[in-house]
């Protein structure tokens, strides 16, 4: 065929086969049918985002797409947050308008190296609501450009390819489960590019190519095997590290500069549970979230797979005791594994003003769950 878009369409179909073959490689450590089924579900979520976000990307006429939902999860989704993203052209100037909408935290992060659908190579400029002039009604306006602007300015660089927004909520229920939840947000170029042309062979091919690039980056090109550990990510299962606070997140694509993270891999037998004891530091927001190997949350519409400070029952001395278990232990602060024998426990402390306390853990047998 002479159609370029037909050729790229075939490349997308071929990539789906390549992804399937990749799950079977020994380095991916997916020996069971259920392991590979979990991987296929993740790939479908990645494809969903690739088609929605990247195939429709138009930096001249940008739009904020919602990154995650209860049915679209990747790259570390958070039940207590609403995320949006938009592609940009660093050679253009943009005006962004929005409203805090009751969020306990709002921020804008420039992702570097994402042009054409590539994975973020790190963080560029960031702005949070402490750094933005906000009106009494919660509304704000900021400019994104390479040239400095008065007032709220989000600095772009030649490597800038997209903007990610974060809106955190500490509710009794996960904010991401509310189907009516909407954060007012818009982005427009300061110079009107005029209306777009109807899609043609070239624009269709370019959209498909961006989708392929993104999907490949989160599947077959995702590293396998041992990697250099991050200070906040424990290499010992069921135990947490507690490194000093720093700004090490800026080299991690799609991370949040204002977050201090703590993470470990949990390993539980059928009749085992993990007790986690600690204290929340002084911070803007804090929660703990369970993830699978693909940094996806388990089904949180019907399972308690995360706990924020408002949802957590504290001990008389202000500390907390959480129990990670396969079934309800009959005590407060149950984190439901949904039956997964292994996964990741991931903490976020947002804008902490003090060093977080060490998270202490203890492996329990079924008879000890409630004690």
What are the sequence ranges of the domains in the chain? 4-218, 248-368
Q: Mean pLDDT, the chain, as a whole number? A: 95
Burial (CB < 10 A; 0-12, 13-18, 19+), residue 96, is: buried
Enter the pTM of the model: 0.95
Q: Is the pLDDT of residue 253 over 90?
A: no
pLDDT digits (tens, 9 = 90+) for 141-170: 999 999 999 999 999 999 999 999 999 999
Report pLDDT for 251: 79
Backbone torsions φ then ψ of 91, nearest 5 degrees: -85, -5
pLDDT of 227 above 80 = no
Complete edge-to-edge strand list for the sheet that includes strand 259-267: 259-267, 342-350, 285-291, 306-308
Q: Phi-psi category of 114—alpha, beta or left, where left has phi over 0 and alpha has psi -120 to 50? A: alpha
C-alpha span between 310 and 171 (Å, rounded): 7
- In the chain, the percentage of residues whose pLDDT exceeds 70 is 98
Domain 248-368 sits in CATH 2.40.160.100: no
Q: What is the CATH number of domain 4-218?
A: 2.60.120
Rounded CA separation 189/264 (Å): 42
Q: Do domains 4-218 and 248-368 have the same CATH topology?
A: yes
Reported confidence tier of residue 371, pLDDT bands at 50, 70, 90 = low
Task: Give yes or no for a contact between 12 and 211, defined as CB atoms under 8 angstroms apart.
Answer: yes
φ, ψ (nearest 5 deg) of residue 200: -120, -175
């Amino acid at each position: 065929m002479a159609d370029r878009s037909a050729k790229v369409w075939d490349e997308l179909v071929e990539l789906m086969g390549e992804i399937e073959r990749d799950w079977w490689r020994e380095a991916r450590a997916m020996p069971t049918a259920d392991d590979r089924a979990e991987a296929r579900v993740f790939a479908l979520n990645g494809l969903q985002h690739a088609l929605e976000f990247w195939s429709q990307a138009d930096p001249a006429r940008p739009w904020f797409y919602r990154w995650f939902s209860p049915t679209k999860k990747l790259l570390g989704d958070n039940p207590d947050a609403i995320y949006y993203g938009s592609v940009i052209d660093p050679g253009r100037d943009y005006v962004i308008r929005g409203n805090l909408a009751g969020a306990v935290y709002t921020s804008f992060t420039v992702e570097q190296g994402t042009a054409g659908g590539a994975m973020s190579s790190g963080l560029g400029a960031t702005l949070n609501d402490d750094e933005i002039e906000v009106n009494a009604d919660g509304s704000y306006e900021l400019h994104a450009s390479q040239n400095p602007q008065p007032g709220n300015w989000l600095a772009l660089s030649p490597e800038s390819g997209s903007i990610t927004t974060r809106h955190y909520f500490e509710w009794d229920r996960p904010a991401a489960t509310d189907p009516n939840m909407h954060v007012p947000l818009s982005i427009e170029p300061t110079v009107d590019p005029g209306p777009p042309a109807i899609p043609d062979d070239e624009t269709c091919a370019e959209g498909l190519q961006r989708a392929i690039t993104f999907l490949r980056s989160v599947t077959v090109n995702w590293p396998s095997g041992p990697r250099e550990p991050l200070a906040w990510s424990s290499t010992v299962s069921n135990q947490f590290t507690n490194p000093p606070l720093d700004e090490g997140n800026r080299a991690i694509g799609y991370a949040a500069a204002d977050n201090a993270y703590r993470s470990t891999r949990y390993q539980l037998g059928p009749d085992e549970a993990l007790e986690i004891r600690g204290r929340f530091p002084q911070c803007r927001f804090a929660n703990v979230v369970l993830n699978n190997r693909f940094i996806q949350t388990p089904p949180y519409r019907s399972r308690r797979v995360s706990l924020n400070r408002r949802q957590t029952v504290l001990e008389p001395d202000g500390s907390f005791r959480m129990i990670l278990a396969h079934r309800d232990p009959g005590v407060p602060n149950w984190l439901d594994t949904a039956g997964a024998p292994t996964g990741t426990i991931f903490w976020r402390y947002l804008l902490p003003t003090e060093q977080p306390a060490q998270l202490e853990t203890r492996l329990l047998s079924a008879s000890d769950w409630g004690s």
